[in-house]
Structure 1
Amino acid sequence: MTPSLDPVSPPVALTIAGSDSGGGAGIQADLKTMTTHGVFGTSVVTATTAQNTRGVHDVVPLSAEHVTAQYDAVVEDFAPEAAKTGMLATREIVEAVTRKVRGFDGPVVVDPVMVAATGDRLLSAGAEAAYEDLVASATLVTPNADEAAILVDGAVETPADAAAAGRTLVERGADAALVKGGHLDGDGEVVVDTLVWGTEGEDPRVRRIENPRIDAAATHGSGCTLSSAIASRLARGEPLEEAVVAAVDGMGEAIRRGYDVGEGPGAVNPTATDAR
Protein backbone atom coordinates (compact mmCIF):
# COMPACT_ATOMS: atom_id res chain seq x y z
CA MET A 1 0.00 0.00 0.00
CA THR A 2 1.41 3.40 -1.00
CA PRO A 3 1.56 5.84 1.92
CA SER A 4 -0.66 8.86 1.44
CA LEU A 5 0.90 12.28 1.18
CA ASP A 6 0.70 14.17 4.46
CA PRO A 7 2.54 17.49 4.11
CA VAL A 8 2.85 20.05 6.90
CA SER A 9 2.60 23.82 6.61
CA PRO A 10 4.66 25.43 9.37
CA PRO A 11 5.09 29.18 9.72
CA VAL A 12 7.99 30.57 7.70
CA ALA A 13 10.77 32.72 9.16
CA LEU A 14 13.68 34.45 7.45
CA THR A 15 17.27 34.91 8.62
CA ILE A 16 19.54 37.51 7.03
CA ALA A 17 23.04 36.76 8.28
CA GLY A 18 26.52 35.45 7.59
CA SER A 19 27.52 31.82 7.11
CA ASP A 20 29.63 30.05 9.75
CA SER A 21 31.64 27.22 8.19
CA GLY A 22 32.08 25.80 11.70
CA GLY A 23 28.31 25.43 11.99
CA GLY A 24 27.99 26.95 15.46
CA ALA A 25 26.68 30.41 14.68
CA GLY A 26 25.28 32.49 11.83
CA ILE A 27 22.92 31.05 9.25
CA GLN A 28 23.65 27.50 10.39
CA ALA A 29 22.66 28.16 14.01
CA ASP A 30 19.65 30.20 12.88
CA LEU A 31 18.20 27.42 10.75
CA LYS A 32 18.77 24.77 13.44
CA THR A 33 16.98 26.99 15.93
CA MET A 34 14.07 27.67 13.62
CA THR A 35 13.60 23.94 12.96
CA THR A 36 13.65 23.26 16.71
CA HIS A 37 10.88 25.82 17.15
CA GLY A 38 8.66 24.25 14.49
CA VAL A 39 9.28 26.97 11.90
CA PHE A 40 10.47 26.60 8.30
CA GLY A 41 13.61 28.66 7.98
CA THR A 42 14.60 30.58 4.86
CA SER A 43 17.86 32.49 4.51
CA VAL A 44 19.69 35.39 2.93
CA VAL A 45 23.47 34.99 3.21
CA THR A 46 25.37 38.25 3.66
CA ALA A 47 28.92 36.91 3.92
CA THR A 48 30.83 33.68 4.02
CA THR A 49 33.39 33.01 6.71
CA ALA A 50 36.25 30.55 7.11
CA GLN A 51 35.99 29.68 10.78
CA ASN A 52 35.94 26.86 13.26
CA THR A 53 35.73 26.49 17.03
CA ARG A 54 39.16 28.15 17.38
CA GLY A 55 38.35 31.38 15.58
CA VAL A 56 37.59 33.27 12.37
CA HIS A 57 40.22 32.97 9.64
CA ASP A 58 38.61 34.85 6.75
CA VAL A 59 35.46 36.81 5.94
CA VAL A 60 34.15 37.51 2.42
CA PRO A 61 31.10 39.81 2.25
CA LEU A 62 28.72 39.32 -0.65
CA SER A 63 27.58 42.25 -2.74
CA ALA A 64 24.61 44.27 -1.56
CA GLU A 65 23.01 43.55 -4.93
CA HIS A 66 23.22 39.79 -4.40
CA VAL A 67 21.92 40.11 -0.85
CA THR A 68 18.96 42.04 -2.24
CA ALA A 69 18.38 39.40 -4.94
CA GLN A 70 18.30 36.64 -2.33
CA TYR A 71 15.80 38.58 -0.24
CA ASP A 72 13.54 39.22 -3.24
CA ALA A 73 13.67 35.53 -4.25
CA VAL A 74 12.57 34.44 -0.78
CA VAL A 75 9.74 36.89 -0.21
CA GLU A 76 8.22 36.52 -3.68
CA ASP A 77 7.76 32.76 -3.18
CA PHE A 78 7.31 32.40 0.58
CA ALA A 79 5.40 34.46 3.09
CA PRO A 80 7.74 34.85 6.07
CA GLU A 81 5.86 35.66 9.26
CA ALA A 82 8.99 37.10 10.93
CA ALA A 83 12.57 37.97 10.04
CA LYS A 84 15.84 38.38 11.89
CA THR A 85 19.15 39.94 10.96
CA GLY A 86 22.60 38.93 12.13
CA MET A 87 26.02 39.70 10.70
CA LEU A 88 25.62 42.27 7.91
CA ALA A 89 29.33 42.90 7.32
CA THR A 90 29.35 46.19 5.37
CA ARG A 91 27.63 49.57 5.32
CA GLU A 92 26.20 48.79 1.88
CA ILE A 93 24.60 45.59 3.13
CA VAL A 94 23.22 47.28 6.26
CA GLU A 95 21.64 49.97 4.09
CA ALA A 96 20.24 47.45 1.59
CA VAL A 97 18.73 45.31 4.34
CA THR A 98 17.24 48.39 6.00
CA ARG A 99 15.48 49.34 2.76
CA LYS A 100 14.01 45.86 2.49
CA VAL A 101 12.85 45.35 6.08
CA ARG A 102 11.10 48.72 6.09
CA GLY A 103 8.58 47.13 3.74
CA PHE A 104 8.49 43.75 5.49
CA ASP A 105 5.03 42.76 6.65
CA GLY A 106 5.89 41.21 10.00
CA PRO A 107 8.10 41.54 13.06
CA VAL A 108 11.84 42.08 12.52
CA VAL A 109 14.42 41.09 15.13
CA VAL A 110 17.74 42.91 14.72
CA ASP A 111 20.77 41.24 16.31
CA PRO A 112 23.44 43.95 15.79
CA VAL A 113 26.52 41.78 15.38
CA MET A 114 29.21 44.40 15.98
CA VAL A 115 31.62 43.00 18.57
CA ALA A 116 33.33 39.61 18.70
CA ALA A 117 33.57 37.57 21.90
CA THR A 118 37.19 38.76 22.09
CA GLY A 119 35.97 42.37 22.23
CA ASP A 120 37.18 43.13 18.70
CA ARG A 121 34.99 45.44 16.59
CA LEU A 122 33.59 43.61 13.56
CA LEU A 123 32.33 46.58 11.54
CA SER A 124 33.71 49.84 10.24
CA ALA A 125 32.53 53.08 11.84
CA GLY A 126 30.44 53.74 8.73
CA ALA A 127 28.68 50.38 8.98
CA GLU A 128 28.04 50.93 12.69
CA ALA A 129 26.52 54.34 11.95
CA ALA A 130 24.24 52.79 9.31
CA TYR A 131 22.65 50.64 12.00
CA GLU A 132 20.78 53.68 13.33
CA ASP A 133 18.13 53.42 10.61
CA LEU A 134 17.93 49.62 10.87
CA VAL A 135 17.38 49.80 14.62
CA ALA A 136 14.61 52.36 14.05
CA SER A 137 12.90 49.81 11.77
CA ALA A 138 13.15 46.94 14.29
CA THR A 139 10.41 45.27 16.24
CA LEU A 140 13.13 44.17 18.64
CA VAL A 141 16.86 44.89 18.79
CA THR A 142 19.01 42.45 20.81
CA PRO A 143 22.46 43.94 21.54
CA ASN A 144 24.88 42.60 24.12
CA ALA A 145 26.36 45.16 26.50
CA ASP A 146 29.27 46.05 24.20
CA GLU A 147 26.97 46.50 21.20
CA ALA A 148 24.48 48.54 23.22
CA ALA A 149 27.33 50.83 24.27
CA ILE A 150 28.20 51.43 20.61
CA LEU A 151 24.57 52.03 19.63
CA VAL A 152 23.90 54.57 22.39
CA ASP A 153 27.46 55.93 22.57
CA GLY A 154 27.74 55.41 26.31
CA ALA A 155 28.92 52.93 28.91
CA VAL A 156 26.74 49.87 29.54
CA GLU A 157 28.21 48.08 32.54
CA THR A 158 25.32 47.39 34.94
CA PRO A 159 21.67 46.33 34.70
CA ALA A 160 20.70 49.97 35.33
CA ASP A 161 22.87 51.01 32.38
CA ALA A 162 21.20 48.30 30.29
CA ALA A 163 17.74 49.64 31.12
CA ALA A 164 18.83 53.17 30.21
CA ALA A 165 20.31 51.95 26.91
CA GLY A 166 17.13 50.05 26.14
CA ARG A 167 15.05 53.16 26.71
CA THR A 168 17.31 55.12 24.38
CA LEU A 169 16.95 52.52 21.62
CA VAL A 170 13.16 52.57 21.99
CA GLU A 171 13.19 56.37 21.90
CA ARG A 172 15.16 56.14 18.64
CA GLY A 173 12.45 54.08 16.98
CA ALA A 174 12.77 50.41 17.92
CA ASP A 175 9.54 48.93 19.25
CA ALA A 176 11.54 47.09 21.91
CA ALA A 177 15.10 46.39 23.02
CA LEU A 178 16.58 43.37 24.79
CA VAL A 179 19.98 44.25 26.25
CA LYS A 180 21.71 40.96 27.01
CA GLY A 181 23.43 40.76 30.36
CA GLY A 182 26.09 38.12 29.95
CA HIS A 183 28.89 40.71 29.99
CA LEU A 184 27.47 43.05 32.63
CA ASP A 185 28.99 43.71 36.04
CA GLY A 186 27.03 42.33 38.95
CA ASP A 187 26.24 39.05 40.67
CA GLY A 188 28.43 36.42 39.05
CA GLU A 189 25.84 33.71 39.68
CA VAL A 190 22.98 35.46 37.88
CA VAL A 191 22.59 36.81 34.36
CA VAL A 192 20.22 39.77 34.06
CA ASP A 193 18.79 40.44 30.61
CA THR A 194 16.76 43.64 30.31
CA LEU A 195 13.71 43.99 28.07
CA VAL A 196 12.41 47.50 27.37
CA TRP A 197 9.30 48.14 25.29
CA GLY A 198 6.40 50.51 25.00
CA THR A 199 3.88 52.25 22.84
CA GLU A 200 4.12 55.74 21.43
CA GLY A 201 3.25 58.40 23.96
CA GLU A 202 3.79 56.14 26.97
CA ASP A 203 6.80 55.58 29.20
CA PRO A 204 8.63 52.40 28.17
CA ARG A 205 8.10 49.32 30.31
CA VAL A 206 11.14 47.52 31.72
CA ARG A 207 11.41 43.86 32.68
CA ARG A 208 14.48 42.23 34.19
CA ILE A 209 14.82 38.58 33.20
CA GLU A 210 17.08 36.74 35.65
CA ASN A 211 18.54 33.28 35.12
CA PRO A 212 21.36 31.32 36.74
CA ARG A 213 24.71 31.80 35.03
CA ILE A 214 25.97 28.61 33.39
CA ASP A 215 29.70 28.09 33.93
CA ALA A 216 30.58 27.23 30.34
CA ALA A 217 33.01 28.51 27.74
CA ALA A 218 30.94 27.22 24.83
CA THR A 219 28.78 30.27 24.18
CA HIS A 220 29.60 30.57 20.46
CA GLY A 221 26.34 31.15 18.60
CA SER A 222 24.36 32.23 21.66
CA GLY A 223 23.28 35.57 20.18
CA CYS A 224 22.26 33.97 16.89
CA THR A 225 20.35 31.22 18.66
CA LEU A 226 18.52 33.65 20.95
CA SER A 227 17.45 36.08 18.23
CA SER A 228 16.33 33.19 16.00
CA ALA A 229 14.32 31.65 18.83
CA ILE A 230 12.55 34.96 19.40
CA ALA A 231 11.89 35.41 15.68
CA SER A 232 10.53 31.86 15.46
CA ARG A 233 8.16 32.42 18.36
CA LEU A 234 6.99 35.69 16.82
CA ALA A 235 6.41 33.86 13.52
CA ARG A 236 4.18 31.45 15.44
CA GLY A 237 2.14 34.37 16.72
CA GLU A 238 3.39 34.66 20.29
CA PRO A 239 3.22 38.13 21.90
CA LEU A 240 6.57 39.92 22.11
CA GLU A 241 7.09 39.77 25.89
CA GLU A 242 6.13 36.09 26.04
CA ALA A 243 8.39 35.23 23.11
CA VAL A 244 11.39 37.05 24.57
CA VAL A 245 11.07 35.62 28.07
CA ALA A 246 10.63 32.04 26.82
CA ALA A 247 13.57 32.33 24.44
CA VAL A 248 15.85 33.83 27.11
CA ASP A 249 14.87 31.17 29.63
CA GLY A 250 15.65 28.45 27.07
CA MET A 251 19.20 29.71 26.50
CA GLY A 252 20.38 28.23 29.80
CA GLU A 253 19.72 24.72 28.56
CA ALA A 254 21.22 25.50 25.15
CA ILE A 255 24.44 26.56 26.90
CA ARG A 256 24.39 23.84 29.57
CA ARG A 257 24.03 21.13 26.90
CA GLY A 258 26.34 22.85 24.45
CA TYR A 259 28.08 20.97 21.65
CA ASP A 260 31.50 19.56 22.66
CA VAL A 261 32.93 19.53 19.14
CA GLY A 262 36.19 20.68 17.59
CA GLU A 263 39.33 21.66 19.48
CA GLY A 264 37.98 25.01 20.72
CA PRO A 265 35.28 25.79 23.32
CA GLY A 266 32.45 24.34 21.20
CA ALA A 267 29.08 26.00 20.63
CA VAL A 268 25.61 26.35 22.12
CA ASN A 269 23.07 23.66 21.29
CA PRO A 270 19.95 25.17 19.66
CA THR A 271 18.18 21.79 19.78
CA ALA A 272 18.60 21.30 23.53
CA THR A 273 15.04 22.47 24.25
CA ASP A 274 12.09 21.23 22.25
CA ALA A 275 10.16 24.50 21.92
CA ARG A 276 7.47 23.42 19.45
Structure 2
Amino acid sequence: MDRTIKRILIIAGSDSGGGAGIQADIKTVTMLGGHAMTAITALTAQNTLGVTGVMPVPAGFVIEQIDAVVSDIGVDAVKIGMIGSAEVVNAVADRLAALDTVPIVFDPVMVATSGSLLADEATIAAFGRLMDIATVVTPNLPELGVLGGSAEALAARHGCAVLAKGGHGEGVDLIDRLVTADGRSTEWTSERIETRHTHGTGCTLASAIATGLGQGRPLSEAVEKARDFVRASLLAAPGLGNGHGPMRQGLVR
Protein backbone atom coordinates (compact mmCIF):
# COMPACT_ATOMS: atom_id res chain seq x y z
CA MET A 1 0.00 0.00 0.00
CA ASP A 2 1.34 3.45 -0.95
CA ARG A 3 2.05 5.47 2.21
CA THR A 4 4.05 8.21 0.50
CA ILE A 5 1.23 10.67 1.16
CA LYS A 6 0.79 11.27 4.87
CA ARG A 7 -2.64 11.45 6.48
CA ILE A 8 -3.17 14.55 8.62
CA LEU A 9 -6.27 14.76 10.80
CA ILE A 10 -7.40 18.33 11.53
CA ILE A 11 -9.70 18.93 14.50
CA ALA A 12 -10.82 22.56 14.29
CA GLY A 13 -13.55 25.04 13.44
CA SER A 14 -14.67 26.21 10.02
CA ASP A 15 -14.00 29.79 8.84
CA SER A 16 -16.60 30.96 6.33
CA GLY A 17 -14.17 33.60 5.07
CA GLY A 18 -11.63 30.96 4.10
CA GLY A 19 -8.72 32.65 5.86
CA ALA A 20 -8.23 30.52 8.97
CA GLY A 21 -9.55 27.36 10.59
CA ILE A 22 -10.28 24.22 8.61
CA GLN A 23 -9.99 26.08 5.32
CA ALA A 24 -6.44 27.30 6.01
CA ASP A 25 -5.53 23.89 7.41
CA ILE A 26 -6.67 21.99 4.33
CA LYS A 27 -4.83 24.36 1.99
CA THR A 28 -1.66 24.07 4.04
CA VAL A 29 -1.63 20.29 4.34
CA THR A 30 -2.46 19.89 0.65
CA MET A 31 0.24 22.30 -0.55
CA LEU A 32 2.82 20.56 1.64
CA GLY A 33 2.04 17.18 0.13
CA GLY A 34 -0.25 15.65 2.78
CA HIS A 35 -3.80 14.33 2.71
CA ALA A 36 -6.07 16.47 4.90
CA MET A 37 -8.92 14.90 6.88
CA THR A 38 -11.23 16.88 9.17
CA ALA A 39 -13.31 16.71 12.31
CA ILE A 40 -15.12 20.05 12.45
CA THR A 41 -15.78 21.35 15.97
CA ALA A 42 -17.76 24.50 15.12
CA LEU A 43 -19.18 26.47 12.25
CA THR A 44 -18.43 30.19 12.26
CA ALA A 45 -19.87 33.11 10.33
CA GLN A 46 -16.88 35.39 9.84
CA ASN A 47 -14.95 37.54 7.43
CA THR A 48 -11.82 39.69 7.62
CA LEU A 49 -13.55 42.10 10.02
CA GLY A 50 -14.63 39.63 12.67
CA VAL A 51 -16.79 36.73 13.80
CA THR A 52 -20.56 37.34 13.76
CA GLY A 53 -21.73 33.89 14.80
CA VAL A 54 -20.57 30.51 16.10
CA MET A 55 -22.49 27.22 15.96
CA PRO A 56 -20.76 24.50 18.01
CA VAL A 57 -20.78 20.90 16.85
CA PRO A 58 -21.86 18.41 19.57
CA ALA A 59 -19.01 16.46 21.13
CA GLY A 60 -20.45 13.14 20.05
CA PHE A 61 -20.45 14.12 16.40
CA VAL A 62 -16.89 15.46 16.61
CA ILE A 63 -15.82 12.03 17.84
CA GLU A 64 -17.91 10.34 15.13
CA GLN A 65 -15.96 12.30 12.50
CA ILE A 66 -12.65 11.29 14.07
CA ASP A 67 -13.62 7.62 14.28
CA ALA A 68 -14.89 7.59 10.69
CA VAL A 69 -11.59 8.66 9.17
CA VAL A 70 -9.19 6.97 11.60
CA SER A 71 -10.90 3.57 11.35
CA ASP A 72 -10.76 3.54 7.55
CA ILE A 73 -8.04 5.87 6.27
CA GLY A 74 -5.71 5.96 9.27
CA VAL A 75 -3.70 8.91 10.57
CA ASP A 76 -0.04 9.94 10.62
CA ALA A 77 -0.39 13.22 12.56
CA VAL A 78 -3.08 15.32 14.23
CA LYS A 79 -3.55 19.08 14.35
CA ILE A 80 -5.98 20.55 16.91
CA GLY A 81 -7.19 24.14 16.56
CA MET A 82 -10.44 25.81 17.68
CA ILE A 83 -12.02 23.21 19.94
CA GLY A 84 -15.43 24.70 20.74
CA SER A 85 -16.20 23.69 24.32
CA ALA A 86 -14.83 21.97 27.41
CA GLU A 87 -17.01 18.96 26.62
CA VAL A 88 -15.38 18.63 23.21
CA VAL A 89 -11.90 19.08 24.76
CA ASN A 90 -12.49 16.17 27.13
CA ALA A 91 -14.03 13.93 24.48
CA VAL A 92 -11.20 14.59 22.02
CA ALA A 93 -8.55 14.06 24.71
CA ASP A 94 -10.11 10.71 25.61
CA ARG A 95 -10.22 9.62 21.98
CA LEU A 96 -6.73 10.75 20.99
CA ALA A 97 -5.11 9.18 24.05
CA ALA A 98 -5.41 5.87 22.21
CA LEU A 99 -3.24 7.22 19.36
CA ASP A 100 -0.14 7.25 21.54
CA THR A 101 2.35 6.90 18.67
CA VAL A 102 0.85 9.67 16.51
CA PRO A 103 2.33 13.19 16.78
CA ILE A 104 -0.20 15.80 17.92
CA VAL A 105 0.09 19.55 17.38
CA PHE A 106 -2.21 21.66 19.57
CA ASP A 107 -2.80 25.30 18.67
CA PRO A 108 -4.65 26.68 21.75
CA VAL A 109 -6.93 29.06 19.86
CA MET A 110 -8.58 31.59 22.18
CA VAL A 111 -9.09 34.75 20.13
CA ALA A 112 -9.38 35.29 16.37
CA THR A 113 -7.03 37.68 14.58
CA SER A 114 -9.92 40.16 14.49
CA GLY A 115 -10.16 40.05 18.29
CA SER A 116 -13.29 37.87 18.51
CA LEU A 117 -13.40 35.39 21.41
CA LEU A 118 -13.29 31.75 20.27
CA ALA A 119 -12.93 29.93 23.62
CA ASP A 120 -14.64 30.56 26.94
CA GLU A 121 -13.06 30.19 30.38
CA ALA A 122 -14.24 26.61 30.87
CA THR A 123 -12.77 25.55 27.54
CA ILE A 124 -9.43 27.22 28.26
CA ALA A 125 -9.36 25.60 31.71
CA ALA A 126 -9.72 22.20 30.03
CA PHE A 127 -6.84 22.79 27.59
CA GLY A 128 -4.48 21.05 30.01
CA ARG A 129 -5.86 17.68 28.96
CA LEU A 130 -4.89 18.32 25.34
CA MET A 131 -1.46 19.63 26.34
CA ASP A 132 -0.91 16.41 28.30
CA ILE A 133 -1.18 14.34 25.10
CA ALA A 134 0.34 16.83 22.65
CA THR A 135 3.74 16.53 21.02
CA VAL A 136 3.96 20.31 20.73
CA VAL A 137 1.73 23.22 21.76
CA THR A 138 1.89 26.45 19.73
CA PRO A 139 0.61 29.43 21.78
CA ASN A 140 1.17 33.05 20.81
CA LEU A 141 2.41 35.33 23.57
CA PRO A 142 -1.04 36.36 24.90
CA GLU A 143 -2.16 32.71 24.90
CA LEU A 144 1.04 31.69 26.67
CA GLY A 145 0.27 34.26 29.36
CA VAL A 146 -3.19 32.82 29.93
CA LEU A 147 -1.88 29.24 30.01
CA GLY A 148 0.85 29.90 32.54
CA GLY A 149 3.20 32.62 31.35
CA SER A 150 6.34 30.53 30.79
CA ALA A 151 7.13 28.12 27.99
CA GLU A 152 9.52 26.25 30.27
CA ALA A 153 6.91 25.81 33.01
CA LEU A 154 4.23 24.75 30.53
CA ALA A 155 6.53 22.21 28.86
CA ALA A 156 7.62 20.72 32.19
CA ARG A 157 4.08 20.58 33.58
CA HIS A 158 2.56 18.80 30.58
CA GLY A 159 5.53 16.87 29.20
CA CYS A 160 5.25 18.41 25.75
CA ALA A 161 7.26 20.83 23.65
CA VAL A 162 6.05 24.44 23.53
CA LEU A 163 6.56 26.76 20.58
CA ALA A 164 6.11 30.30 21.90
CA LYS A 165 5.21 32.36 18.81
CA GLY A 166 6.55 35.90 18.83
CA GLY A 167 4.17 37.57 16.41
CA HIS A 168 2.59 39.65 19.20
CA GLY A 169 5.97 40.85 20.46
CA GLU A 170 7.47 44.26 19.82
CA GLY A 171 10.36 45.32 17.62
CA VAL A 172 11.38 44.80 14.02
CA ASP A 173 12.42 41.20 14.64
CA LEU A 174 10.05 38.32 15.33
CA ILE A 175 11.39 35.61 17.64
CA ASP A 176 9.81 32.17 17.90
CA ARG A 177 11.15 29.94 20.67
CA LEU A 178 10.78 26.17 20.95
CA VAL A 179 11.18 24.67 24.43
CA THR A 180 11.17 20.90 24.91
CA ALA A 181 9.94 19.04 27.97
CA ASP A 182 13.52 18.62 29.21
CA GLY A 183 14.14 22.37 29.05
CA ARG A 184 16.19 22.62 25.85
CA SER A 185 15.36 25.60 23.67
CA THR A 186 15.81 26.69 20.06
CA GLU A 187 15.12 30.17 18.72
CA TRP A 188 14.38 31.46 15.25
CA THR A 189 14.64 35.17 14.51
CA SER A 190 13.17 36.74 11.38
CA GLU A 191 12.46 40.25 10.21
CA ARG A 192 8.84 41.10 10.89
CA ILE A 193 6.60 41.25 7.80
CA GLU A 194 4.49 44.40 8.04
CA THR A 195 1.02 43.54 6.76
CA ARG A 196 -2.55 43.51 8.03
CA HIS A 197 -3.26 40.34 6.05
CA THR A 198 -2.35 37.88 8.79
CA HIS A 199 -5.57 35.94 9.20
CA GLY A 200 -4.79 32.25 9.63
CA THR A 201 -1.11 32.48 10.53
CA GLY A 202 -1.47 30.31 13.64
CA CYS A 203 -3.62 27.71 11.91
CA THR A 204 -1.26 27.54 8.97
CA LEU A 205 1.84 27.19 11.15
CA ALA A 206 0.36 24.40 13.29
CA SER A 207 -0.91 22.45 10.28
CA ALA A 208 2.45 22.82 8.54
CA ILE A 209 4.22 21.49 11.64
CA ALA A 210 1.78 18.56 11.84
CA THR A 211 2.40 17.75 8.19
CA GLY A 212 6.15 17.83 8.72
CA LEU A 213 5.92 15.56 11.76
CA GLY A 214 3.63 13.19 9.87
CA GLN A 215 6.22 13.05 7.11
CA GLY A 216 8.85 12.01 9.65
CA ARG A 217 10.74 15.28 10.13
CA PRO A 218 12.30 15.97 13.54
CA LEU A 219 10.37 18.60 15.50
CA SER A 220 12.88 21.43 15.07
CA GLU A 221 13.07 20.82 11.32
CA ALA A 222 9.26 20.66 11.06
CA VAL A 223 9.01 23.99 12.87
CA GLU A 224 11.65 25.61 10.66
CA LYS A 225 9.97 24.45 7.45
CA ALA A 226 6.57 25.55 8.78
CA ARG A 227 7.88 29.03 9.59
CA ASP A 228 9.23 29.33 6.04
CA PHE A 229 5.84 28.30 4.69
CA VAL A 230 3.98 30.89 6.77
CA ARG A 231 6.36 33.67 5.76
CA ALA A 232 5.97 32.82 2.08
CA SER A 233 2.19 32.73 2.52
CA LEU A 234 2.21 36.17 4.19
CA LEU A 235 4.26 37.67 1.39
CA ALA A 236 1.85 36.20 -1.18
CA ALA A 237 -1.32 37.48 0.57
CA PRO A 238 -3.86 38.58 -2.08
CA GLY A 239 -5.10 41.61 -0.12
CA LEU A 240 -8.72 40.51 0.21
CA GLY A 241 -11.26 42.14 2.52
CA ASN A 242 -11.35 45.32 4.56
CA GLY A 243 -9.78 43.93 7.73
CA HIS A 244 -7.28 41.19 8.54
CA GLY A 245 -7.23 39.43 5.20
CA PRO A 246 -6.20 35.86 4.38
CA MET A 247 -2.77 34.73 3.30
CA ARG A 248 -2.11 32.70 0.18
CA GLN A 249 -0.79 29.28 1.09
CA GLY A 250 1.54 28.15 -1.67
CA LEU A 251 4.17 25.51 -2.24
CA VAL A 252 7.55 26.29 -0.69
CA ARG A 253 10.36 24.31 -2.31
1:195 paired with 2:174, answer no
What amino acid does structure 1 have at the position aligned with 2:169? L
What amino acid does structure 2 have at the position aligned with 1:178? L
Q: CA deviation at 1:118?
A: 4.7
Q: CA deviation at 1:239?
A: 0.7
Secondary structure of residue in 1 paired with 2:158: coil
Tell me what 2:76 maps to. 81
- Whether contact under 8 Å (1:20, 1:26) holds in the other structure is yes
1:243 paired with 2:222, answer yes
Q: CA deviation at 1:9?
A: 4.9
Q: CA RMSD in A?
A: 1.6
State how far apart, in whole Å, the 2-side matches of 1:246 and 1:204 are: 22
Q: Residue 92 of structure 1: which of 77, 87, 91 is its match? A: 87
Secondary structure of residue in 1 paired with 2:68: helix
- Whether contact under 8 Å (1:140, 1:174) holds in the other structure is no
Unaligned runs of 5+ in 2: none
State how far apart, in whole Å, the 2-side matches of 1:207 and 1:8 are: 31
- Whether contact under 8 Å (1:211, 1:249) holds in the other structure is no
State how far apart, in whole Å, the 2-side matches of 1:121 and 1:50 are: 13
- Whether contact under 8 Å (2:89, 2:129) holds in the other structure is no
What amino acid does structure 2 have at the position aligned with 1:231? A
**241-250 or 231-240: bigger deviation:** 241-250
1:181 paired with 2:177, answer no
What amino acid does structure 2 have at the position aligned with 1:24? G
State how far apart, in whole Å, the 2-side matches of 1:35 and 1:190 are: 30
State how far apart, in whole Å, the 1-side matches of 2:20 and 2:127 are: 21
State how far apart, in whole Å, the 2-side matches of 1:223 and 1:207 are: 19
What amino acid does structure 1 have at the position aligned with 2:252? D
Tell me what 1:170 maps to. 155
1:125 paired with 2:121, answer yes
State how far apart, in whole Å, the 2-side matches of 1:55 and 1:115 are: 10
Unaligned runs of 5+ in 1: 1-6, 155-164
Tell me what 2:232 maps to. 253
TM-score, length of structure 2 as denominator length: 0.94
What amino acid does structure 2 have at the position aligned with 1:138? A
Q: CA deviation at 1:274?
A: 2.6
Secondary structure of residue in 1 paired with 2:233: helix
Tell me what 1:149 maps to. 145
State how far apart, in whole Å, the 1-side matches of 2:4 and 2:187 are: 35
State how far apart, in whole Å, the 1-side matches of 2:200 and 2:118 are: 15
- Whether contact under 8 Å (1:211, 1:252) holds in the other structure is no
State how far apart, in whole Å, the 2-side matches of 1:144 and 1:9 are: 32
1:57 paired with 2:36, answer no
- Whether contact under 8 Å (1:115, 1:146) holds in the other structure is no
What amino acid does structure 1 have at the position aligned with 2:163? L
State how far apart, in whole Å, the 2-side matches of 1:173 and 1:192 are: 23
Tell me what 1:267 maps to. 246
Q: Residue 217 of structure 1: which of 196, 200, 207 is its match? A: 196
Q: Residue 67 of structure 2: which of 48, 58, 72 is its match? A: 72
Q: CA deviation at 1:250?
A: 2.7
1:110 paired with 2:106, answer yes
State how far apart, in whole Å, the 1-side matches of 2:229 and 2:144 are: 22
State how far apart, in whole Å, the 1-side matches of 2:229 and 2:8 are: 19
Aligned residue pairs total: 251
Q: CA deviation at 1:178?
A: 0.2
TM-score, length of structure 1 as denominator length: 0.87
User: 1:181-219: CA deviations, max 9, x gaps?
Assistant: 01123xx21100010014xxxx41111110110010000
State how far apart, in whole Å, the 2-side matches of 1:168 and 1:99 are: 24
- Whether contact under 8 Å (1:141, 1:174) holds in the other structure is no
